[in-house]
Amino acid sequence: MNPAFDSQVVEILIRLGYFQEFGSSGKLLHLYKEFREGESKFSKSHIPATQQKRLAKLR
């Protein structure tokens, strides 16, 4: 929800292992792509209930 994060920068940081404490780069990239492009795509335009459902599914 924070527009200060550039999606390309986040993907690069995942690939570089910056978030390794949260899991392998492959797993994190899979989750990130699902969040950005997949069936559970998250959008600020969704109502809060839909946002919560999608976040719960990703978790």
pLDDT tens-digit series, residues 20-38: 999 999 999 998 888 788 7
pLDDT of residue 31: 86
User: What's the confidence (pLDDT) of residue 4?
Assistant: 63
The amino acid at residue 31 is: L
Q: Tell whether 32 is covered by a domain.
A: yes
Residue 35 in any domain: the answer is yes
Question: What confidence score (pLDDT) does residue 15 get?
Answer: 94
| Per-residue buried b or exposed e for 44-54, using 16+ beta carbons within 10 Å of the residue's own CB | eeeeeeeeeeb
In a domain, 19, yes or no: yes
pTM over 0.85: no
Asked if residues 53 and 59 have their Cβ atoms less than 8 Å apart, the reply is no
Structural domain harbouring 47: 7-58
- The pLDDT assigned to 2 comes to 55
Residue 2 resides in a domain: no
> How many domains is the chain partitioned into structurally?
1
pLDDT at 58 > cutoff 80: no
Q: Is residue 12's pLDDT more than 80?
A: yes
Query: In sequence order, what are the residues at sequence separation of 6 or more whose Cβ sits closer than 8 angstroms to the Cβ of residue 7?
Result: 36
Burial of 12 (0-12, 13-18, 19+ CB in 10 A): exposed
